[in-house]
Amino acid sequence: MNKLENIRNVKRRVLIVDDEIINREILGNILSADYDVSFAEDGIAAMEALEEEGSIYSLVLLDLLMPKMDGFEVIEKIRAHEVLKNIPVIVMTSEKDAEVKSIKLGAADFITKPYDYPEVILARCERIIELSENKNVIKYAATDTLTGLYTKDFFFEYIRQAELFNKEAARDAVVLNITRFHLVNELYGREEGDNVLRFITGIILDITEKNSGFACRSEADTFCLYLSHLDDYDDFLSFIKKRMRDIPHASSIRIRIGVYQNVDKDINPHTWFDRARTVCDILKNDYTKQIAFYNNNLYEQSIFNECLINDMQQAIDKKQFVVYYQPKYGIQNGRYELKSAEALIRWENPQYGLISPGLFIPLFEQNGLIQKLDSFVWEEAASQMEKWREKYAIDFPISVNVSRVDIFYPEFFNNLKNIIESHQIDPKNFMLEVTESAYVDNVEELVEIIEKLRDMGFRIEMDDFGSGYSSLNMITSLPFDVLKMDMKFIRNMQKDEKSMRLVEIVMDIVKFLGVPVIAEGVEEEEQVNILKKLGCDLIQGYYFSKPLPPDEFEKLIEKELEERKNI
């Protein structure tokens, strides 16, 4: 018996269809020890038995020459039936021509009359049932149950087999993602979500048929397509956009597509789709584009990004990250007075040299590693404050950046509390810079967190004010102690009247709120003079100093202390 039967320890059900009772009895005697045998005397009775509710047959033994409905018609009906079509049929005949015809119609095998070799009949039945069941197992393992597309593993195996015979053909790897698909499940239920997936599957099948390709559902909301090469994807994208209009709840989702054209056949197929996925992911936050194409620059950038991610912990352990300090100067008391500094991270990478924070900070913000990096900066800054207190007998205020990831981290409050307590720092001197954009989502929860931080003694600086779209609408209700004006205002205020007026409006608002304002990115004396006239309290920028390592920053502290003595 086959392996599946041995495991399940059940008898397979076999239907013997023959109009002569003696033939039914002979076959019944041969098979009944190993199978659960049923009988039908003609084709009509056979179809009734097969279609009976709850009946499950593993094999049909079918005579061809019968009254009412012959065996050929029974084969045709079985093969056309959606439920019965996978049941294997062995025909029973002594005519060679009939054997050929029945095999062409879809019969799996034949048994020659008379039945004088019982062992051969048993062996053939066992073999056909085993082949059929294994075929079905492979079929279900090969296809996604919801969409009917290939599973990911089968998809890549299919590519491997196809490339053995057609390696010279130019092909494209395409990754299609349904952005915000979870909203459909959440808003309308999983059944509606499944309907959306089936609808998109229909689009994908049409695409693969037109472009000699095939596809798989690689994840819940992601599909991989392997297509004949296209030089131009305009028609491809237009077809998808047009069909998307008919998708249920289309407004809740967005399709984004990454394409790796004319794949390099000398590298692993998984890499083709990794590259297509790379450009697909780039579109995640870009709503102006729906399709992107892979190129070598993107490949090099993705490799660079992966290196940075993989090297981050080692860089922390080996102190490759260095905290620099950029001074903030007060400008309203008759002289430029060093008031505080912002802690800024730099990465002295042994392979790439000094890496700009503009490269690694957005990357770490995306994958959550920023929380670990910020904690490192907080600890380094607090330690430096302690050193300067011991060296200069002053409590020099430093501000550190706090991201949205930090704020919602479960240990956020404990981390800050442990840092300031271990270095004996007054929390009012350990200022927390929170970007304006952090206030946009989960406003109520964020306000509660900010208020708790203020209750703990921390001062909150709203960073990059004016870079978001909701500033003026939200500013009167948000808790903060200092406002930092985005450097874009400063750069443009001398160039056009509108930008200048915006700076004036911001200054009027903060005067009304009674909070000090810091201007970032100040580089020219004229900018300093304008801001001073408008009532700006503090200035940060290259006009005074670029960010400095601790030993160089100490010269500014010493200069400030000397000037204070002479007042």
Task: List, for residues 88-119, the tens digit of each pLDDT value.
Answer: 999 887 777 777 788 888 888 888 888 878 88
Residue type, position 315, single letter: A
Which residues partner with 518 through β-bridges?
A: 484, 538
The pLDDT of 475-503, averaged and rounded, is: 82
Please give the pLDDT value at position 47.
Answer: 93
pLDDT band at 345 (very low <50, low <70, confident <90, very high): very high
Nearest Cα to Cα of residue 345 among 363, 329, 330, 332: 363
- Going from N- to C-terminal start, the domains of the chain cover 3-142, 152-294, 328-565
At 523 the three-state DSSP class reads: coil
Across the range 475-504, mean pLDDT stands at 82
CATH of 3-142, one of 3.40.190.10, 2.40.70.10, 1.20.1250.20, 3.40.50.2300: 3.40.50.2300
- What percent of the chain is predicted at pLDDT more than 90? 43
Which residues, in sequence order, are CB contacts of 109 under 8 Å at separation 6+?
Answer: 88, 90, 91, 124, 127, 128
Q: What is the rounded distance in angstroms from the CA atom of residue 135 to the CA atom of residue 551?
A: 73
Q: How far apart are the first and last CA of the chain?
A: 103
Tokens 């981290």 belong to which residue?
A: 409
Determine the average pLDDT of the residues in 474-484: 79
What does CATH list as the number for 152-294?
3.30.70.270
Find the mean pLDDT for residues 186-191. 76
**Residue 274: pLDDT over 70:** yes
Residues 431, 396 contacting (CB under 8 angstroms): no
Distance between CA atoms of residues 41 and 63, nearest Å:
10
Mean pLDDT (whole number) for 389-403 = 95
Quickly count: other Cβ atoms within 10 Å of residue 324's Cβ: 18
For residues 158-182, give the mean pLDDT.
Answer: 84
More confident residue, 440 or 152: 152
Output the pLDDT for position 438: 61
Position with higher pLDDT, 425 vs 409 = 425
In the prediction, which pLDDT does 6 show?
37
* Structure tokens that stand for 345 in this block: 């991270």
Do the first three CATH levels of 3-142 and 328-565 match, i.e. the same topology?
no
Considering the chain, what is the average pLDDT of its residues?
86
Q: What integer pLDDT is reported at residue 136 of this predicted model?
A: 65
Of 338 and 141, the one with more pLDDT: 338
C-alpha dihedral sign at 275, 277, 281, 287: positive
Q: In what order do the strands lie in the sheet with 171-179?
A: 214-219, 222-228, 171-179, 254-260, 291-293
What's the predicted TM-score (pTM) here?
A: 0.60
Per-residue pLDDT at 436: 62
Helix (H) or strand (E) holding 219: strand 214-219
Inform me whether the pLDDT recorded for 2 exceeds 60: no
| Widest Cα–Cα separation across the chain | 125
CATH 3.30.460.80 for the 328-565 domain, yes or no: no
Whole-number CA gyration radius for the chain: 37
